[in-house]
Amino acid sequence: MQLGKSKIERPSSRADALHSLLKLVCELTGMNAALIARKTENEWRAYAAHECEQIGISPGDTLRLGQTSFGTNGDSWATVFGESMPRDMLPSHLTERRSERRSYLLVPLFRANGSVTEAICAFDGNAAALEPRIDACLTVVANLVALQLREENTFLTLKTTLTRERANSQSREEFIAVLGHDLRSPLNGIKGATEVIAQSDTTLSHSDMIEVIRDSCTQISCLIEDVLDFARGQLGSGIPLSKGPALDLSLLVAISVSELRVAYPNRQVVLRSVGNLSARVDEVRFRQLLSNLIGNALKHSPLETPVEVKLDSGGNTIRITITNQGPPMSPQTLKELFTPFARGGHSGSKSGLGLGLYIAAEIARAHGGSVEARCDDAGTTFTAYLPNALDS
């Protein structure tokens, strides 16, 4: 027997492999179109398609394939060959041609757990029953398609995981670099102060040097606490709280604002308080939340513009709103503001570890509240929500 010569093309992608298998379905059955249907929550959609002649079916089109269409019998699924296709099976944009459709074929694709959420659908062929050998071939093709889809899902999962890990790795590297830089400054201060103290001809008093050492140690302590808070948030234990009796939050905010005015003497901070603002909070953590949010607003807004801080209450919630007139941020930057290493949402800023907003959000969450941000041409607004119930 003399065999004819045919060109065998190697699929260049997963999509090409599926396309080749669907083309094989058409050649085996004589159908004019074949597609893979994938079930979403309440409907089936075309995932991949092959047409021998232009019909108009495209990936994403909605199909009407009920479970009974697959010849289910209890928990079993079977290949179905119909001599007359239901008029409403095809997408609505093919309404004018649906009456021309003849026989159809449905082949379930089994997942590893035995469920069926995908199927091969072929239609527009000759109304003739499938021969047993064709049915057996379709079973083999269906298994190949199911295997290809499983490998594709695995590939996409691995790709997503790899992308996320690369981003995490880059963030960790940036974090270590910034931590090293920020630790170096106070350590150099301590080193310099001790060297001056060791010299007998110093013009500075020991008390001045002690103050430098104290400030440097405070900076290091704050950096370490930020790292520990970050670790608690990532490990799932959350920020630890130590609540006492109910406190007047307007007083705590006023104290925090006064401290920040000293740190930023050339900036204007406007404070307004309205309503009952008593709540049980961890005072240290609450003031840390305020310092992080208001400090961020001061860092990322023009010197000549004010930062507005407003407290009010409604229902069982106290709302703290901090508004600055800084430049607008992109939607993606705004979305990632409260993730670690965001550095205040401004990619060009390299000051600090980029944990301030993340820790502020974690402190609010530990209190049963939340922090959100919005941005427009007028500026950026951070809003912290905390419960004001005395038994919170």
pLDDT digits (tens, 9 = 90+) for 5-24: 545 454 455 667 888 888 88
Asked which of 76-85, 89-98, 323-332, 361-370 is least confident by mean pLDDT, the reply is 89-98
What mean pLDDT value characterizes the chain?
Answer: 76
Tokens 């997942």 -> residue = 111
Four-point Cα dihedral 188, 194, 197, 199, nearest 10: -80
- Burial (0-12, 13-18, 19+ Cβ within 10 Å), 47: middle
Whether 100 has a pLDDT exceeding 80, the answer reads no
Q: Positive or negative, the Cα torsion across 215, 221, 223, 226?
A: negative
Give the whole-angstrom CA distance, residue 349 versus residue 337: 13
CA distance 188 to 194: 10
DSSP state of 67: G
Among 36-45, 132-141, 205-214, 279-288, name the most confident range.
279-288
pLDDT confidence bin for 1, thresholds 50/70/90:
very low
Residue 161 has pLDDT above 70, yes or no: yes
How many Å apart are CA 39 and CA 118, to the nearest integer? 6
Q: What is the pLDDT of residue 293?
A: 93
Of 117-126, 214-223, 276-285, which has the strongest mean pLDDT? 276-285
Structure tokens, 46:
């075309």
DSSP strands (E only) in the chain: 33-39, 44-51, 62-63, 80-82, 103-110, 116-125, 247-248, 269-273, 278-279, 307-314, 317-324, 370-376, 379-387
> In percent, how much of the chain has pLDDT > 70?
71
pLDDT tens string 51-71: 876 777 777 787 777 644 555
